[in-house]
Homo-oligomer: A and B are copies of this chain.
Amino acid sequence: MVDDAALRRTVTQIFEKLGVSPDDAAEAGEVLTMTDLRGVETHGVSNMLRAYVRDYKAGKLDPRPGWRMVRESPGTAVIDAERRLGIIIGPKAMRLAVEKARRVGVGVVTVFNSGHFGAIGHFAMQAAEQNMVGVCFTGAGLSVVPTFASKPLLGTNPIALAAPARHEAPMLFDAATSAIAGNKIRLAMRVGSPLLPGWVTDKDGTPIMEEKPIFDRDDVYQAPLGGTREQGSHKGYGFALMAEVLSTVLSGALPTMLVPGSGSKNHFAAYNIEAFTDLEQFKDTMDTMLRTLRTAKPAAGQERVLYPGLSEAEEIQHRRAHGIPLHKEVIQWFAECTSEFGLAPLVTMR
């Protein structure tokens, strides 16, 4: 267990040692720590931090502050990240979208040529904290097979939306447009549990419809949300393409299917609620709607009805009070990393 403040401090120090400016390092520490506080461990320190450290050391990521503005209008901007890390560029891009939305009602900023963006729900939440609706789309990777195709041409291309409420936890939706996240395949393999029908395809692109364990990640590709055409995989495929158009093509960049390894492309949108309606009325309606969902009678055998963002908000409260659980192996990695950089060790809770 680690305290979130201790984790934020050590992560920030590691980024500084990698040559990142203090402000940018603090930004990165905040994104990663909040991601772990929300319980989105797939995108927190355990999985991602060591990849970032490796990529900075290998010169794949550029630690310099700033970015290159490619085009700008009152409501929009396009940023060339020039291989800077996405979790550092993301907060700035969403702040710019929020600023534009404050002036003209809606702001959209697209970013291309960047490193990994982490859990994009974080950036959507930034807008929600400014009394706006935040939306993000990502085009990145090459692991998902379009319906009827025989090889992966799209990434897991997540889509996120956050909206503020008054008393209820804010709505926070953040989902890959694939049937399941890539990291979950690795997790299932590690614990030897079978993948469910429609989660992946064989190397010919045919959806695997038996429940069976996978022993090699390279034996399968990912299926779009829906799994098969009959179950709606053409919709998951369409959502993935939607994310590609709004983040990649609308950045003037090329999709990963045309230039593998071309980095992440992202779309940050902020909708200024006050440009649309009364802010207090918006929050009241969100409250009533989310409470209606949360208190709906569950189906037989189900415990309760959740809405997107509810369990994340509960996890934040719990982890702020009791700490963030980190695997022994991750604690070990921190020990080596801080020692290598001559930093004080990560303070654990016991």
Cβ contacts A to B, 5 pairs, < 8 Å: A105-B108, A148-B299, A246-B271, A249-B277, A250-B276
Q: Does A133 contact B (CB under 8 A)?
A: yes
A157 / chain B contacts, CB cutoff of 8 Å: none
Report the bound CA distance from A271 to B334 in whole Å: 44
Q: Which residue of B lies closest to A70 (CB)?
A: B277
Q: Which residue of B lies closest to A299 (CB)?
A: B205
CB distance from A51 to the nearest CB of B (A): 25
> Given A288-B258, A292-B153, is A245 in contact with B161 using a C-beta cutoff of 8 Å?
yes
Instruction: Give the one of A71, A196, A238, A244 with max B CB within 10 A.
Output: A238
CB distance from A157 to the nearest CB of B (A): 12
Q: Does A255 contact B (CB under 8 A)?
A: yes
Which A261-277 residues sit within 8 Å CB-CB of chain B?
A: 271-273, 275-277
Could you tell me if A163 and B232 are in contact, using CB atoms closer than 8 angstroms? Answer: no
Q: Does A213 contact B (CB under 8 A)?
A: no
Which A134-173 residues sit within 8 Å CB-CB of chain B?
A: 135, 145-151, 153, 159, 161, 163, 171, 173
Count this chain's copies in the assembly. 2
Report the bound CA distance from A108 to B105 in whole Å: 9
Could you tell me if A299 and B201 are in contact, using CB atoms closer than 8 angstroms? Answer: yes
Partner-contacting stretch, out of A6-14, A279-287, A315-323, A342-350: A279-287
Q: Which 5 A-B pairs have the closest CB atoms?
A: A252-B277, A76-B105, A73-B105, A205-B299, A75-B104
Q: Which of B70, B230, B308 contacts A241 (CB 8 A)?
A: B308
A281 / chain B contacts, CB cutoff of 8 Å: 252
Q: Does A131 contact B (CB under 8 A)?
A: no
Could you tell me if B163 and A245 are in contact, using CB atoms closer than 8 angstroms? Answer: yes
Could you tell me if A71 and B255 are in contact, using CB atoms closer than 8 angstroms? Answer: no
0/1 per residue, A90-116, Cβ < 8 Å to B? 000000000001011111101000000
Report the bound CA distance from A31 to B103 in whole Å: 34
Could you tell me if B250 and A175 are in contact, using CB atoms closer than 8 angstroms? Answer: no
A146 / chain B contacts, CB cutoff of 8 Å: 293, 296, 305, 307
> Given A106-B108, A204-B300, A245-B133, is A250 in contact with B225 using a C-beta cutoff of 8 Å?
no
A303 / chain B contacts, CB cutoff of 8 Å: 148
Q: Does A192 contact B (CB under 8 A)?
A: no
A201 / chain B contacts, CB cutoff of 8 Å: 299
> Given A133-B246, A242-B161, A299-B150, is A278 in contact with B293 using a C-beta cutoff of 8 Å?
no
Q: Does A231 contact B (CB under 8 A)?
A: yes
Q: Which of B173, B180, B254 contacts A238 (CB 8 A)?
A: B173
Could you tell me if A76 and B106 are in contact, using CB atoms closer than 8 angstroms? Answer: yes
Q: Does A227 contact B (CB under 8 A)?
A: yes
Could you tell me if A75 and B273 are in contact, using CB atoms closer than 8 angstroms? Answer: no
Q: Which of B105, B106, B153 contacts A293 (CB 8 A)?
A: B153
A106 / chain B contacts, CB cutoff of 8 Å: 75-76, 106-108
Could you tell me if B292 and A258 are in contact, using CB atoms closer than 8 angstroms? Answer: yes
A197 / chain B contacts, CB cutoff of 8 Å: 231
A17 / chain B contacts, CB cutoff of 8 Å: none
Q: Which of B225, B271, B278 contacts A232 (CB 8 A)?
A: B225
